Structures are given as C-alpha cells and as structure tokens.
C-alpha cells in the first residue's frame, strides 16, 4: 500500500529540523508499490528519505521523496550458533538492536542508539565503537528502478568500506533498498576495544549483551545531542583518511592526536575529524542559528530555526579552518540536497 502526500512540510522528517517542503512524498511498502510508481508516472527526480537522519535539505525538494514504511522482521534461518533475519527497510535500527539483544543475539550491540532506519544502514555502512553494519549484513535486497526488478546483493558485492557502499556510487539513483538480511551470533562475541566502552561495561558488571548495549547508549547520550532537543544529523563529517606521511607530520607536532590504523592498508591512516575541529578551536562555536556541538565537534547542530544554507555555510567554515590549521581536507558524510 502506498500513501501520497503533496506539498508536504519536511520539518518532522529530517533530524536537523530544517523547515523545507517537498512537492511529493510517497510512503511505500512493497516492490509492487514501487513498480506502480515507476511504471505509471516515472518520477524524473526522486530520493529515498528514510528517517531523515543523514540528509540535509538546503532547498525545497521539487521531485518525489520515497519513504519505506514496511517494518517486518522475520527469522529466515537458525542453527545452534546463529540466527539469520530479514528485516524490512522501514524498521527502526535501534528497535532492531534491542530486539536482538533481548533474544541473546550478538553483533549489533555496539551499534546501539544510532539514529537510522534499517534501509539506510547499508548505504553508509553505519558504524560505531569498533563495529560496522557490514559485520552483520549478509544480503541487501533492492528494487532496481531501471528494469523494475528485485535484486539480492550479497555482502561481498556491496563494496562496503568506512561509511561507504555501492549504494553511494554505482547504485546511487538506481537502487531502492527493500530489506536487509543479517546473521547474528548466539555465541558471545564482545567487541570492547574502542575507547571508553570497556570501562563502561566493566562498571556495569561485565560483558553481557545488555551491559554492552547500556554502556554504548550511555556514552552516546553523553556526547551526542538528542535530535528531539537539538536538531542534528550525527557526525556531519567523515573522519579523513590521509597518507601516513601526513599523519606522521601532525603527530610530530601534536603527539596526543588520535589516529587509527586501517585494516589491510599500511599506507593510510584515519584521523579523528572531531579532534581536528576541536583543536582548531571550533567546539561550541556558534554562528546565528547553527553551531558546532559543545560535546562532540563532529556534530553540527540547529539551535532553532536554522535553514539548510546556514548549516552549509558553517560546514564550509569548519572545513576551511581545519584545512588551514592542519592541511587536511574533511568532507561531509551527510547527504546534502
């Protein structure tokens, strides 16, 4: 079933809370709904808007927004050690994590409280605290708008990397994700290597699934603003990946600078954009209705009434300052429309 809205206000449908309108928004459930949309009056301009947690509207949208609303979760396979699930794109990510934690299924707990729909998770390969969605995804099922078919893509074919996937490149403007399949472990697999996580887990009495989820929720809630209170899209920028020589030059000057080795790539290092922005003196910086969050400089916030253009102006300022201070380019991870 589909539901069509015309000339709709998007303020409640983007976590930045910017006030823009869309000409048409269609909530859909199935591939058949999409087949109707793309065969009857094929939209020239369309974009999939999930929960709107990673999209910044800078102007009114004069095309069609497509929002998946089917939220079903089904068990497709199970053995002594694992359970495989098929989850429809409109399901809420954190509700799925809770569902898994309640049932003793390991693999998603470090990704607790990430604001996302399930369908958006593979697009940017959401990640936090040493885990990424790709670690548990087995298949992504999408609707191909070219030939109106449904395609199942194995994890290996999704070109997953840090905040990257095929859905941001070859399949951008082509694929509409319908469902994602996951394989979770029944055997405990705690992943406590990142930052404060181990301390928070130990303070709660050890590495149970529930304690890890609670620890991650506590850390996130301390650092990241609640979108209901302060509009934001999580990390606005990606952490930059630079040549080792660049990182070494910076480490010589700032020995305390965080840097992360990359798996299978000795020539590059990932830096913490939040640290660079903070060190450039911009944490808590405010320009009119927008600002850099005062507890995590990677996050830009809407202090109320901000337009998308104001956010863009601030983001450009942040990029310029980081470039001039450290010689490093940072780029938005948020989709800018």
Can you give the binding site for ligand EPU, defined by CB under 6 A? 128-129, 194-195, 223-224, 234-235, 238-239, 258, 272, 274-275, 278, 283, 296-298, 333
Q: Active site includes 333?
A: yes
Residue 309: CB partners within 8 Å, gap ≥ 6? 58
Cβ proximity to ligand EPU: between 38 and 236 the closer is 236
Cβ proximity to ligand EPU: between 36 and 196 the closer is 196
For residue 35, what are its two tokens? 């087949």
Cβ proximity to ligand EPU: between 99 and 194 the closer is 194
Q: Active site includes 220?
A: no
Cβ proximity to ligand EPU: between 47 and 260 the closer is 260
DSSP code at position 106: B
Q: Smallest distance from the beta carbon of 192 to ligand EPU, in angstroms?
A: 12
Helix (H, G, I), strand (E, B) or coil at 319: helix
CB 154 within 8 A of CB 127: no
Q: Smallest distance from the beta carbon of 148 to ligand EPU, in angstroms?
A: 33
DSSP code at position 256: T
Marked catalytic residue, from 163, 249, 259, 317: 163
Q: Smallest distance from the beta carbon of 193 to ligand EPU, in angstroms?
A: 11
CB 112 within 8 A of CB 209: no
CA 157 to chain centre: 20
CB 42 within 8 A of CB 2: no
Residue with tokens 């992504």: 140
Cβ proximity to ligand EPU: between 25 and 121 the closer is 121
Nearest to 121 by CA among 62, 131, 211: 131
* β-strand pairing of 259-262 with 265-271: antiparallel
Q: Length of the chain in residues, anyone? A: 337
Marked catalytic residue, from 181, 235, 310, 315: 235
Backbone angles phi, psi at 65, to 5 degrees: -100, 135
Nearest residue relative to ligand EPU (C-beta) = 234
Q: Smallest distance from the beta carbon of 299 to ligand EPU, in angstroms?
A: 7
Q: Smallest distance from the beta carbon of 280 to ligand EPU, in angstroms?
A: 10
Q: Active site includes 324?
A: no
Active site residues: 163, 235, 333
């Amino acid at each position: 079933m589909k539901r069509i809205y015309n000339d709709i206000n998007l303020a409640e449908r983007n976590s930045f809370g910017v006030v823009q309108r869309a000409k048409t928004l269609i909530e859909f459930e199935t591939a058949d709904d999409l087949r109707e949309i793309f065969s009857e009056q094929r939209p020239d301009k369309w974009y999939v808007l999930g929960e709107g947690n990673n999209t910044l509207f800078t102007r009114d949208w004069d095309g069609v927004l497509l929002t998946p609303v089917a939220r079903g979760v089904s068990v497709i396979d199970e053995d002594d050690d694992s359970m495989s699930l098929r989850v429809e794109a409109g399901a809420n990510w954190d509700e799925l994590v809770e569902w898994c934690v309640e049932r003793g299924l390991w693999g998603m707990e470090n990704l607790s409280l990430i604001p996302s729909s399930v369908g958006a998770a593979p697009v940017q390969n959401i990640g936090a605290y040493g885990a990424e969605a790709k670690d548990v995804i087995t298949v992504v099922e999408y609707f191909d708008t070219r030939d109106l078919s449904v395609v199942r893509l194995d994890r290996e074919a999704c070109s997953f990397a840090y905040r990257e996937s095929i859905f941001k490149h070859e399949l951008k403007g082509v694929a509409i994700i319908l469902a994602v399949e996951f394989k979770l472990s029944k055997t405990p697999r705690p992943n406590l290597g990142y930052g404060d996580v181990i301390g928070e887990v130990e303070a709660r009495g050890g590495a149970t699934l529930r304690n890890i989820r609670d620890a991650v929720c506590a850390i996130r809630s301390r650092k990241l603003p609640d979108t209901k209170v302060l509009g934001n899209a999580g990390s606005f920028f990606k952490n930059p990946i630079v040549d080792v020589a660049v990182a070494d030059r910076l480490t010589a000057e700032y020995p305390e600078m965080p840097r992360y080795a990359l798996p299978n790539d000795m020539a590059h290092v990932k830096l913490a954009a939040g640290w660079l922005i903070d060190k450039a003196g911009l944490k808590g910086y405010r320009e009119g209705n927008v600002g850099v969050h005062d507890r995590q400089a990677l996050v830009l916030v809407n202090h109320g009434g901000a337009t998308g253009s104001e956010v863009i102006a601030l983001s450009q300022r942040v990029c310029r300052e980081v470039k001039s201070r450290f010689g490093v380019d940072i780029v938005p991870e948020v989709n800018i429309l």
